[in-house]
Structure 1
């Protein structure tokens, strides 16, 4: 009597199973899956029907080892924090560009930790990704020489790497904060504060430089008492804003170096009861910024262009490994709303 309590066969179907069902050789199945010429249409149809019937899935890594170009149709993406709206928007743009070219994107967050960044790169390398797009952290990306030596191109996005030459895509960071200062100065502001991230971060340093340069040109220099940097989250930014606006005399306007600083600053201004009297401009758009009262003026980055350009450079690098390295700068734009129109006399 046959047993009925045996567990079902959960073994994943193999290319041999496909060949048996389609009544062809394994080589023929491989040629169909790789879309190679020389297979009769009726044979190709039988193989594809067998693949669908069995639910067969290719082992991409194993297939790439057998292919001459060793491609896996996948790329690795390292961002600082995927939960940050900036990072998620850039990621989506890269994914869309890659998907249009039948490539999968593997994504990991480094949390701004150089060791974590390196671990993610090693993990992606072990999965034989075709290339890497990285938002770099720390002061040394020379470890990427290993990846390049093994045929894996690298593109940096948002900021260039350090001690390692590669293609890079960045925003007009300094010009963005300079435009914010000019906009506020045109409304009579001279005492303008700045809240920013760690100055070891390329984008943060560039934005502070643009702020200082514009303040120098318009008002003979920035007041150091009104500048706070090293702010990594909204809570730190909120505390810094409370401290700055407790000074006498207090600033009449504020430039925030990123969206996290802006979130903290808005909370602080609300707590202090001065949101309708202090002008504020933030770098990076913030979700629902147009619904705040007053609505938030921002320096908007073109995240879609940043991501798509980084992806395009990577695919071009795959086609031409020896081409000169390029740095592409993506323009930013000031989006005027109510908070940036508050005059100094408010």
Structure 2
């Protein structure tokens, strides 16, 4: 740094400000410093910076499934915010396994990340309490933490599901089936609650045979949907609890002779190109990630106060499948 300062004709503190992106440097001075850095091949000593500041300039992201398209924009948004703060993002997948989530989160903490963004698989996160006490900032996204108070960023799963079912009711449907994810998952139970709220608000009964929660395995979803679509109390419309369920539901309905209305929770690729296009409740997964990462870095920068809970709105996109009327 001394060589850079001498070549640029500035003090060491000015070089430090430019290297660390701190304010208080004029554009002309910054240009001279950066030209000197380029000419001399200077590289910041991150090891020394870590020792001085006590931070590693890295954060961890624990996802449910790296292959799920929902998490791609979320991960990218977290990475963009981290990069803007000069931090490296390290991510991994829990594969919806609470034990794997804990193992991965603690491994990242052991590597001294400054903070974690976690999409939880489990419902007990007391194992992170010592890490929080030690100064690691943690924000939960998509689902809340279990048994600890922590910053959380969620979509309005209840409101989005209620709007989806109300949309089907407004188009004449009275027998509406719901196929959702595992009942231990927060988003699945909130979407089920929204389904029941819309049906109750319309004064409609719910036959237990119209509701099925379980894994998103295509065979399980297919069996559940086909059971709802048969028999004397067959449903005339389906509400699919997430994008994986919706894709299987589309395949089931494609093989049936008559039209069945469908609304899915989560948008998915090519949904607008099908015939009819698939009506969905869309979450903004990029905004979820961006909001969570912003909150994380505010905590790292010293923001105090009680744990925050941020709920982001969803949006119903009508494309045709949710507007099909019941059979005459």
**Which bracket does the TM-score occupy, shorter chain normalised?**
0.7 to 0.9
- Count of matched residue positions in the alignment of Structure 1 and Structure 2: 315
CA distance in 1, matches of 2:49, 2:214: 44
Matched, 1:265 2:249: yes
Structure-2 residue corresponding to 1:294: 276
Q: Deviations over 1:163-192 (max 9, x none)?
A: 111110111111111111111111110010
CA distance in 2, matches of 1:242, 1:272: 10
Structure-2 residue corresponding to 1:66: 51
CA distance in 2, matches of 1:83, 1:307: 16
CA distance in 2, matches of 1:309, 1:35: 22
The answer on whether the counterparts of 1:184 and 1:253 sit within 8 Å (CA) in structure 2 is yes
Indicate which of 253, 262, 286 corresponds to 1:280: 262
The answer on whether the counterparts of 2:174 and 2:204 sit within 8 Å (CA) in structure 1 is no
Alignment of 1:229-248 (within 5 A): 229-248=213-232
Task: Report the alpha carbon displacement of residue 45 of structure 1 after superposing the two structures with TM.
Answer: 6.1
Matched, 1:320 2:302: yes
Structure-2 residue corresponding to 1:84: 68
Q: Deviations over 1:257-298 (max 9, x none)?
A: 100110111111112344xx1000000001100001111000
TM-score (ref. length: structure 2): 0.87
CA distance in 2, matches of 1:127, 1:282: 40
The answer on whether the counterparts of 1:294 and 1:339 sit within 8 Å (CA) in structure 2 is yes
Alignment of 1:28-177 (within 5 A): 49-51=39-41, 58=45, 60=46, 62-67=47-52, 69-177=53-161
RMSD: 2.8
- Greater relative contact order structure (CA < 8 Å, 6+ sep): 2
Matched, 1:307 2:289: yes
TM-score (ref. length: structure 1): 0.83
The answer on whether the counterparts of 2:19 and 2:44 sit within 8 Å (CA) in structure 1 is no
Q: Deviations over 1:214-236 (max 9, x none)?
A: 11121333211111101233332
CA distance in 1, matches of 2:32, 2:177: 72
Structure-1 residue corresponding to 2:313: 331
Structure 1 portions without partners, runs of 5+: 1-14
Tell me, what secondary structure is at the counterpart of 1:334?
strand
Structure having the higher Rg? 1
Task: Report the alpha carbon displacement of residue 44 of structure 1 after superposing the two structures with TM.
Answer: 8.2
CA distance in 2, matches of 1:46, 1:170: 46
Matched, 1:195 2:179: yes
Task: Report the alpha carbon displacement of residue 123 of structure 1 after superposing the two structures with TM.
Answer: 2.0
Name the CA shift for 1:64/1:136 in 2 (closer, same or farther; >3 Å). farther
Tell me, what secondary structure is at the counterpart of 1:219?
coil
The answer on whether the counterparts of 2:101 and 2:122 sit within 8 Å (CA) in structure 1 is no
Deviation >4 Å, runs of 4+:
30-37, 41-48
Task: Report the alpha carbon displacement of residue 47 of structure 1 after superposing the two structures with TM.
Answer: 6.0
CA distance in 1, matches of 2:304, 2:32: 42
217-226 or 250-259, larger mean C-alpha shift:
217-226
CA distance in 2, matches of 1:178, 1:257: 12
Tell me, what secondary structure is at the counterpart of 2:255?
helix
CA distance in 2, matches of 1:266, 1:35: 50
CA distance in 2, matches of 1:99, 1:117: 24
The answer on whether the counterparts of 1:141 and 1:163 sit within 8 Å (CA) in structure 2 is yes
Name the CA shift for 1:51/1:337 in 2 (closer, same or farther; >3 Å). same
